[in-house]
Amino acid sequence: MTNKLLERAIQQHQQGSLKNALENYHKVLEDDPKQTAALHGAGIALSQLGRNDEALHYIDRALLLEPQNATFQNSRGNILSQHGKLVEATIAYDQAIQLQPDHATAYNNIANCFFRQKKFDNAKKAYQKAIALKPHFANAHFNYARLLIELENYHQAIAELKRTVAMSSHHSAAFSQLAHVYMYLGDFSKAITYYEKRLALEPENADAQYDCGLAHLKDNQFQKAIDYFTNALLLNPEHPDCHYSLATAYLQRGDHKEALLHYLRQLEKKPQIECYYNVGVLHMYQERHREAIDYFKQALTLDPNYREAHLNIAAVYLKINQIKQAIEHYESTLVLKPNDSEIEHILTALQKKEAPPRAPDSYVRHLFDEYATYYDQHLTLHLQYQVPQKLYQAVETEWNGGKAEWRILDLGCGTGLCGELFKPMAKELIGIDVSEKMLITAGNKNIYDKLENQTLQEALNNHQGFNLILAGDVFTYIGELDDIFEKVKKALAAKGLFALTVEKTHQFPYELLQTIRYAHSKKYIIALIKRNNFKLLRFDNIVLRNQKGKAIEGYLVLLGL
């Protein structure tokens, strides 16, 4: 009877019916208190139920009866390890190994203890011994891989993890770990492959859906990322980070409305500094300046040293002409990153210090990289920007209409607003810009024969023989134009044309305005024209754009050789 009851208890235990198994183990022990298999089974079941103190009591009773039983010592180590008593657990595993030197499981378990104690050399030797004793021990390979990751030996870790899944095709943790490693290494395509293998095993696991979404987000597959994040939220509406990642995917896809909605939902569930910051940025894009300021302030309340928040709140204050507040936050960014040439340049303008000869190239590059995605729409719809059209009208009078015979160099070509108009005149049209993102947008329009990422000075040094050089709204980031005019003259062919615009000031020779833009005096431009022996074909007063309801005046100049 006792043997049948024990067999039933073991069967129930194996089937996961822990309480029924425990009840039958107790019945066996009522008949035979020295039945070590029942004592051991009861100890394991109690441990699985989280009752570790009771579990240890039963295992110790079994060991009193069979002190040479390696399996009992191993189980004792497991319970102590779960209790966080790693030193005692290590002793128990070591005793199991002494009793049974080929006990691969005990070697794996003692290695786990060493790992948790950061005794990595000991852990490595024990994992290797477990694998040597039992080459197809999937969990030993998996745990060894975890150690290799900790030691930053990623490629060997990948090999161990691949061995793990080859031995155990349902080892979801190994698939997940493989994906994590590939994510860390930046191989998002392979990460996706292994996250999807894990997801095939655990389709109802919200975290598996979420991880798959993150990999697609990193791989710039925004719609797929959105789909996986949405699945994760359906499975777990309280997922702590999913709204944030979903918002980020929508933001990357250009859907600002949905991005804002999910950032705000994330703030309801789990306030994050990045959420406050990103909501501020979205309000900033929408010209909702006061709301943007409020969210940037909340980000700065959580982290007063959040440099990006200081930068953006400063930019918003500048937009609404609150110069004092803008200066305060730009100065804070300079404290956090001393000698930042871009911020020093901005502060020079805002504090009306002596103007440097030009803006740092990095300032112009970053400004237009950020601006590239909505540049055309902002200029044409919000600023009523007409510089390309006015330049074209001025040059058209010098063009023998109908023939695309000119070599044209478009300095600071941006997204190609000038290039679109001048394309019919060109047998070769080359665009130059320091912003890679602007050049990508221009390239998508298929206007230019060549697009080159370099400064104006570099371009003029590298190119000659142009019939027309354009500089539409480019010199707002360069004050001193002496060198530019000299280089333009050398780059022009005989009878070549130079068409440019500048913002107007009466201060000689130029001024760095609080808009962080340079303006040039008519007297200075005339002096440059004379010094370089250009023919003055036109010198027109024009409106460059409308800003904050005010017409910004400038000069359109057309010169010839």
Question: How crowded is the C-beta side of 263, counted as CA atoms within 13 Å?
Answer: 23
**Is 455 part of a structural domain of the chain?**
yes
Number of independent structural domains in the chain = 1
Give just the sign of the alpha carbon dihedral 285, 290, 293, 297: negative
DSSP string, 86-132: HHHHHHHHHHHHHH-TT-HHHHHHHHHHHHHTT-HHHHHHHHHHHHH
Residue 134 inside a domain? The answer is no
Q: How many CB atoms lie within 10 A of CB 416?
A: 27
pLDDT tens for residues 425-473? 999 999 999 888 889 988 999 999 999 999 999 999 999 999 999 999 9
Q: What is the pLDDT of residue 400?
A: 72
Is there a domain that residue 80 lies in? no
CB 73 within 8 A of CB 89: no
Indicate whether 404 belongs to any domain.
yes
Separation of alpha carbons 477 and 499, rounded Å: 17
Q: What is the pTM of this model?
A: 0.76
Concatenate the DSSP letters of all residues of 364-413 into one string. Answer: HHHHHHHHGGGHHHIIIIIS---HHHHHHHHHHTTS-TT---EEEEEET-
Contact (Cβ atoms closer than 8 angstroms) between residue 228 and residue 210: yes
Q: Which residues contact 133 (CB under 8 A, 6 or more apart)?
A: 102, 103, 104, 107
Q: 10 Å Cβ neighbour count for 376?
A: 17
Q: Which amino acid is at 299?
A: A
Q: Show the tokens assigned to 28.
A: 């066996």
Domain containing 552 equals 365-560
Q: Are 410 and 448 in contact (CB under 8 A)?
A: yes
Nearest residue to 70 via CA among 46, 22, 112, 102: 102
pLDDT for residue 378: 45
Helix (H, G, I), strand (E, B) or coil at 430: strand
Residue 504 belongs to a domain: yes
pLDDT at 379: 46
CB 79 within 8 A of CB 52: yes
Per-residue model confidence (pLDDT) at position 370: 63
Whether 147 and 120 have beta carbons less than 8 Å apart is answered as yes
Residue 263 neighbours by CB under 8 Å, 6+ apart: 243, 244, 247, 275, 278, 279, 282
Enclosing H/E stretch for 450: strand 450-453
pLDDT of residue 381: 42
Query: Are the beta carbons of 361 and 429 closer than 8 angstroms?
Result: no
Type of residue found at 29: L
4 part of a folded domain: no
Read out DSSP for 127-181?
A: HHHHHHH-TT-HHHHHHHHHHHHHTT-HHHHHHHHHHHHHH-TT-HHHHHHHHHH
Query: Among residues 244, 220, 218, which one has the least CA distance to residue 229?
Result: 244
Assess if residue 250 is contained within a domain.
Answer: no
Tokens read off for 246:
């979903």
Residue 373, CA atoms < 13 Å, CB-side half-sphere: 8
Residue 392 falls inside a structural domain: yes
Which distant-in-sequence residues (6+ apart) come within 8 Å of 201 by Cβ?
170, 172, 175
SS3 469: strand
For residue 407, give the CATH number of its domain.
Answer: 3.40.50.150
How many beta carbons lie within 10 A of that of residue 160, not counting itself? 24
Low-confidence ranges of the chain (pLDDT < 50): 371-372, 374-383
Contact 448, 427 (CB under 8 A): no
